Structure 1
Amino acid sequence: MHRSASRLTRVLACAAVPVILTVAGCSSDSGKDSGSGGDKKPGASASSAKPSGKASAALEKPAFATLPDPCKSIQSGTVDTLVPEAKDKNGTATKSNDLTTRASCSWNGLDEDGLKGSQYRWLSISMVRYESHASLGGANKRAEDQYTKQVEAAKASEGAHDVKVEQAGGIGDQATSVVYGVKKDVDFFNTTIVARTQNVVVTLDYNGAAYEGAGAPDQAKLLQDAIAAAKEAVGSVGTANQQQKQPEQQASPSAQ
């Protein structure tokens, strides 16, 4: 009996050895993995999980969080100058699902001068605002891409001839003017100003035509007036966002 007991003790002792080794082995492997696999320095996996500087910069907070009312983005006196006898001096706004992201307004009018004929004018202002997006890029970069597309679209307008493209200084961060003619029932003279201010793209289209023997519109004057209006429209973007910040600052405890 004593011999059987001793033998059983030795069997159990031998059977327990693999279990202990297995647990120890698991613990050792786990420590090696967490220590970065031998050649890697401790903490390497933690640092590699941090986002790169480029990714952080691409997703910076947009400068502008809203858009102004496009129909009020230029002064009433400017509307009178560009579109004499406008049908609606308040403008006609285009419907949008989100006016803080995309908005536009247009004016048109026919200025009749008896036997001297008539002058037709049409003005449109459109605005698009971009947010930063993880898969699409930073807000400013997205606006830059849209700016380029808008310039190319203006240059490729259907029926356009004698196209002239120039940089328009003093308007936002970058701006381009595209001037061209279009032959319809009469000659239309078109001016497009595309401008970018931070994460917002403003496109102003302005064209004119003469009817019933009136003299053709002065293209240089059309361009001059369009640039002046575009400056106002771009300036209104900053004003609208400043006005939005003021109520927020007044409501915050630190501002009181």
Structure 2
Amino acid sequence: MHRSAKRLASLLACAAVPVMLVAGCSSDDDSGKKESGGGASKSATPSKSGSSSPSVAPAKLKKLPNPCQAVSQDTVKKLVPKTKNADGEQGKSSDAMARGYCAWNSSDSQGVDGTQYRWLDVGFQRYDSDPTLGTGEKRATDFYKKQVDAAKATQDAKNTKTGAVEGNGDESAWITYDLKKDGSDFKNQTVVARTANVVVTVNYNGAGMAGADAPDPSDLLKAAETAAKEAVAAVGKANQ
């Protein structure tokens, strides 16, 4: 079965970059001057030294929400009905304030009409400001673009389409595509949103199996947008 979460999990596994400070120094020397009596005197000013480092605006958002609580239980039930774990499966993170991840999946058997499969995952990536790398917002903007490009470039994807999501953070985009896996046609929806220095990525896909009809992509996209907006709102609440 297709699990777009693997790609996201690997993208979120980012290494911390140490802060580097740039030091500078300067010195001044004055030569001695002969006095009228013919004697020579020599004086010197102390050398001046100091250090300075580039300054950047501090990151606006300091915390991330619990990823498995960023989407309401009602939304989880609608998107992944009959999931075996309504609380979600939380991904491991070495720094819960920098990144987080949670996933849900379900197989809803409909008897002779086949089975409907659904997968939902929510990922968070937060950036601090860094003198050598830029503000947290700039770093998040760069990562946001990478997430959108990665979704567009999904291997073996067909019928890829993109668009903007209105009213979701500072910027947000959706990407939809079809992917055939193990004989089933998966309809995939990815919504990426940035709010200040935090990037939220939601992946939602579904497939009709064992003779079931494929789900309507437009319905899946609306559901993914709902989950993404709830996740962005959860970031705001965590930082109140």
Q: TM-score range by the shorter chain?
A: 0.7 to 0.9
Tell me whether 1:202 sits opposite 2:188 in the alignment.
no
Q: 1:149 aligns with which of 146, 149, 173?
A: 146
Q: 1:176 aligns with which of 158, 173, 177?
A: 173
For residues 113-152 of structure 1, what are the structure 2 equivalents within 5 Å? Answer: 113-152=110-149
Number of the residue aligned with 1:79: 76
> How much does 1:158 deviate?
1.5
Tell me whether 1:221 sits opposite 2:219 in the alignment.
yes
Number of the residue aligned with 2:8: none
Corresponding residue SS for 1:131: coil
> How much does 1:184 deviate?
1.1
Identity rate, percent:
44
Number of the residue aligned with 1:254: none
Number of the residue aligned with 1:158: 155
Query: In the alignment, residue 116 of structure 1 is paired with which amino acid?
Result: D
TM-score, normalised on structure 2?
A: 0.80
> How much does 1:239 deviate?
0.3
Q: Which has the larger radius of gyration?
A: 1
Corresponding residue SS for 2:151: helix
Higher percent of residues as helix? 1
Alpha-carbon distance in structure 1 between the residues aligned to 2:63 and 2:217: 34
Alpha-carbon distance in structure 2 between the residues aligned to 1:61 and 1:74: 28
Higher percent of residues as strand? 2
Number of the residue aligned with 2:164: 167
Number of the residue aligned with 1:68: 65
Number of the residue aligned with 1:230: 228
Number of the residue aligned with 1:14: none
Alignment RMSD, CA only?
2.1
Q: 1:21 aligns with which of 22, 36, 40?
A: 40
Query: In the alignment, residue 149 of structure 1 is paired with which amino acid?
Result: K
Query: In the alignment, residue 71 of structure 1 is paired with which amino acid?
Result: C
Number of the residue aligned with 2:95: 98
TM-score, normalised on structure 1?
A: 0.75
> How much does 1:212 deviate?
1.3
> How much does 1:21 deviate?
2.0
Corresponding residue SS for 2:186: strand
Corresponding residue SS for 2:94: coil
Alpha-carbon distance in structure 2 between the residues aligned to 1:102 and 1:140: 15
Query: In the alignment, residue 91 of structure 2 is paired with which amino acid?
Result: T
Corresponding residue SS for 1:183: strand
> How much does 1:22 deviate?
3.5
Task: Spell out, residue by residue over 1:109-134, the C-alpha distance to the aligned partner (whole angstroms, 9 max, x if none).
Answer: 00111111110000000000000011
> How much does 1:229 deviate?
0.7
Structure 2 stretches lacking a partner, 5+ long: 1-36
Alpha-carbon distance in structure 1 between the residues aligned to 2:227 and 2:52: 46
Alpha-carbon distance in structure 2 between the residues aligned to 1:183 and 1:222: 17
Tell me whether 1:193 sits opposite 2:182 in the alignment.
no
Query: In the alignment, residue 222 of structure 1 is paired with which amino acid?
Result: L
Task: Spell out, residue by residue over 1:168-188, the C-alpha distance to the aligned partner (whole angstroms, 9 max, x if none).
Answer: 111100000000000112100
Corresponding residue SS for 2:220: helix
